[in-house]
Amino acid sequence: MPSSNPLRRDNAQTDIPQAHEALAAYLSEQLDGRPVVIERSERLSGGAIQENWLIEAVVHEAKGPLRQRWVLRTDAASAVAASMSREQEFAVLRTVYQAGVNVPEPLWLCHDLQVIGRVFFVMQALAGNASGFGLTTTAFSDEQRRAICIQLGACLARLHQVTPPQAGLGFLGSPVSDPVQDSVDRYRHFLDTLPERHPALEWGLRWCELNKPAPLAPCLIHRDYRTGNYLLDNGVLTGVLDWEFAGWGDPREDLGWFTARCWRFARADLAAGGIGELNDFLAGYRSIRNLDLTGEDLQFWQVMAHLRWAVIALQQQQRHLSGQQRSLELLLTGRLVPTLEHEILALTGGMQP
């Protein structure tokens, strides 16, 4: 006989709109029994690896109804081995929130598969726009651009103040002694598994081996800190998103990724993520953390960023070609590689006669 408990569901994955009753009951439990009515849910754009759902609800309290906007984050149908679990991402999010980083407040983690058939967590919804192309085509004033870059630099520096060991983040393991060589070895191993050859990427890998700087003390890095993964609301940074690739590493890796040409979208001329000037971004970083870098210092890390994105693009393409996940988007991602190879050669002098 079917259970009368609205939390009782089979363990099959369930679309969020079909799970409103069970989800509302779960949320009510987290709110000390206050009744919750979910008025609507909407899957947010992006999220090939994870799903993000906007939940608009009413919480009935003694003083009257209170409207709430939450975001539910859970695994998408496909998975990527390098991505951490939702439980691990929730732990990272809680740690960086407590460190003062601009992130959505993490609220509840649910392991009960009978709610929606998947592990998920709920965080506070934030206002703002995260579209990379949209933000880089917005007509910000020069003063607004400067202020945004300072905010972004300071936010990243606050993240980099989190250092190992850290309670609750033991799953991240210990930092490797040479993160650059570790990355080069992993990228080269993947390229060796492909039937086609990518000499420009091999060139870039060897260049990085010959030119790698001495590593800095490890800290917590985002590994995808870029335009498209943060929210701006009227020129104010409200939150950094998508923490599933975070781990211990060299802080310059995040700085190189953010400033890499491949993440400037419509404004390749603006080195700070297509939003503003590099000096303003670095000034914001230095206002929190004593690490004095120049654009020249970041060139190496921009090469590493383009190499990493090229490898990811090839991995995405292989997911389609192997039949693991048929997707035109994944297939077309592989078409980005020639542009990334061109930038690697330009940065390393590989295009000189």
pLDDT, tens only, 264-302: 999 999 999 999 999 999 999 999 999 999 999 999 999
Q: Is the bond leading into 65 cis (omega within 30 degrees of zero)?
A: no
> Which domain range does residue 115 map to?
16-124
Report pLDDT for 297: 94
pLDDT in tens, 228-247: 999 999 999 999 999 999 99
Separation CA 208–CA 187 (nearest Å): 12
Decide: pTM greater than 0.95. no
82 within a domain of the structure (yes/no): yes
Separation CA 322–CA 52 (nearest Å): 27
Specify the CATH number for the domain of residue 56: 3.30.200.20
Tell me the average pLDDT of the chain: 92
pLDDT in tens, 118-160: 999 999 999 999 999 999 999 999 999 999 999 999 999 999 9
Q: Provide the H-helix boundaries in 193-325.
A: 199-211, 251-259, 278-286, 295-321
Strand partners of residue 116:
none
Q: Are residues 98 and 142 in the same domain?
A: no
Report pLDDT for 50: 81
- Which residue in this structure is represented by tokens 């020249």? 296
Q: Are residues 196 and 339 in the same domain?
A: yes
Task: Select from 306, 308, 254 the least CA-distant residue to 282.
Answer: 254
Q: Are residues 73 and 201 in the same domain?
A: no
Q: Percent of the chain at pLDDT above 90?
A: 84
Q: Are residues 217 and 288 in the same domain?
A: yes
Dihedral, CA of residue 254, residue 260, residue 263 and residue 266, to nearest 10? 140
In this structure, are residues 342 and 306 in contact, taking their beta carbons and an 8 Å threshold? no
Domain count for the chain: 2
In the predicted structure, residue 77 carries a pLDDT above the cut 70: no
Q: Are residues 164 and 80 in the same domain?
A: no
Q: Provide the H-helix boundaries in 170-221.
A: 179-192, 199-211
Q: Are residues 312 and 221 in the same domain?
A: yes
Report pLDDT for 11: 43
Q: Are residues 187 and 98 in the same domain?
A: no
Mean pLDDT, rounded, for 330-341: 93
**Upper half-sphere CA count for residue 118 (Cβ side, 13 Å):** 21
Specify the CATH number for the domain of residue 189: 3.90.1200.10
In the predicted structure, residue 185 carries a pLDDT above the cut 80: yes
Q: Are residues 22 and 105 in the same domain?
A: yes
